[in-house]
Amino acid sequence: MVEGVEGGAAAAVRLAGGAPLRETLDVTDPGDWLALDAGVREAVRERARFLPAWERSAPLPEELTGLDDARLALALCHRDGRVRQEALRHSVRHPELLSLVVIRCADWVRPVREDARQVLGEVMNLGAALELAPLVLRVGRRARGAFGVELLGRVLRRAPLGLFVPLLASPDRVVRRFAYRLAVEGRLVRPAELARVAAQDEDTVVQDLCATAALASLGDVCDGDVYEDVLPPLLSAANPRTRSAGVTALRRAGRSEEAWTFLGDRSGVVRACARYVVRQQGGDPVPWYRERCTAPDDPALPPGAVIGLAECADRADAGLLRPLLAHPAAGVRARAVAGLRSLDCAEVKQVWPLLDDPSPGVVREVVTALLPWSAELPTEELQARTGADRERHIRLGAFRLLDARGGVVALRAAVGLLQDPDSKLRTWAAQSVQRWRPSPDERRGDPEVGELLDRSRHLFSDHMLRRLKRVAGVGG
């Protein structure tokens, strides 16, 4: 694999020395061709006074006829546009170099660009389109790269589904996106298959595209049987957007009653869609949520039902959420804190004990709830929680609250964590020290500030440290 401009320049030197093209580049990798194209002109990019190393050692002849693949590849990437243009006339007899013709279609020199487009238009068939699609789409991102993408689309639109399948299964997500757009446009894929892809593909763009297309292809029919092959994959998908599309489609399928089971979904967008479908049916989701949150010890209580209550209820329902702060499931405790915060009912004395919760998710929600009152929290107790004897998520939570205080309290906490065993926490502490400034409501000249800055002098230049000390009134 050729990496970057330097790798491309090294590959150019090897090609000039007689190395075979296939032994120098991975001809199936678009990145190798792009690196070679950039590497051949490395000297120009760096404004060097000398020719590139490959051109010094083995310059191209004035007449390009008879050059092998390796040398003609160098000519197609040459710094001189006239050489590139001449090389294009010989490239038709070298199918291996069609990738460089694709790159030249976006050339900055108009005559080179036009000649390359003519060559590519003459030789681009279905086989070449399937092989070159990854490179064409990468070059298509350039300012003059639209021609190749348009040509690729015209050729692939004439392809039967059987030959189109490799692109739909390509590991390159850009290729998959392009292929599925064409497949949807040409209605080449059945709705059930689109739904399966929407549920299983790793790329969110493909998921959204296929889910939308699967439902749109069913039209406005209300016969629930038509949805049997489409809805189950969507409703069971891991991606929330895909699940929400399936939930919304339940109403059109005449199966609105199934939306009740998604009111407690772990995703907020799915819960919102479920509430919409339920209300369109004439139902009220609030009693459903209240009923499930009245059993604070129920191990089967879904965390989504807890936060769902806060999303559609009012402050009077906060009394149902407070007992859930002691629920055995961490997810329920975390959502209870989040729900109280969203209802503006998260009192410090109630959520403070959960700062020592064994679950990082719970502590994260507690810290978010306590941040507005960080100045009122007991500094000593927070500082004690940053000690190495505490779990990482507790140290991090306490640090976030201390850092929000600002002033010497924040500086003391950050300097104390510069030796923390966790590398990320050390990094965040160092960044806190570097952006620290004295609080306007604290007295200047605090000797502790000078001591703390001296302990962290390795994070500053001498000039910046003296300047920060002067601002804090502790001398230079």
| Burial (CB count <10 Å: 0-12, 13-18, 19+), residue 472 | buried
- Is a pLDDT exceeding 60 seen at residue 221? no
Burial 207-217 (b: 16+ CB within 10 A, else e): bebbbbbbbeb
Given the structure tokens 């090389």, which residue do they identify?
87
Banded pLDDT at 2 (limits 50, 70, 90): low
- Is a pLDDT exceeding 50 seen at residue 35? yes
State which fold the 378-476 domain adopts. Leucine-rich Repeat Variant (1.25.10)
Q: Mean pLDDT across the chain, nearest whole number?
A: 88
- Is a pLDDT exceeding 90 seen at residue 443? no
Distance CA 320, CA 158 (A): 61
Distance CA 436, CA 468 (A): 9
pLDDT digits (tens, 9 = 90+) for 7-34: 778 888 888 778 888 888 888 888 888 9
- Give the dihedral of Cα atoms 24, 26, 32, 34; nearest 10 deg: 100
CB count, 10 Å around CB of 110?
A: 10
Determine which of 41-50, 127-136, 255-264, 307-316 has the lowest per-residue pLDDT on average: 41-50
**Would you say 55 and 80 are in contact if contact means Cβ atoms under 8 Å apart?**
no
pLDDT value of residue 50: 45
For residue 268, the 8-state DSSP code is: H
**Would you say 473 and 445 are in contact if contact means Cβ atoms under 8 Å apart?**
yes
Sorted by where each begins, the domain ranges of the chain are 1-122, 284-377, 378-476
For residue 60, the 8-state DSSP code is: P
Determine which of 38-42, 323-327, 360-364 has the lowest per-residue pLDDT on average: 38-42
Banded pLDDT at 64 (limits 50, 70, 90): low
- Is a pLDDT exceeding 70 seen at residue 149? yes
Angle between helix axes 110-123 and 146-156 (nearest 10 degrees) is 10
Distance CA 190, CA 16 (A): 51
| DSSP-assigned states of every residue in 19-51 | --HHHHS-TT-HHHHHHHHHHHTHHHHTT-SS-
pLDDT value of residue 236: 93
- Is a pLDDT exceeding 50 seen at residue 44? no
Distance CA 403, CA 374 (A): 9
Which of 417, 458, 452 is CA-nearest to residue 436? 452
Banded pLDDT at 45 (limits 50, 70, 90): very low
Distance CA 102, CA 105 (A): 5
pTM of full prediction above 0.75: yes
**Would you say 211 and 234 are in contact if contact means Cβ atoms under 8 Å apart?**
yes
pLDDT value of residue 57: 54
pLDDT digits (tens, 9 = 90+) for 239-292: 999 999 999 999 888 889 999 999 999 999 999 999 999 999 999 999 999 999
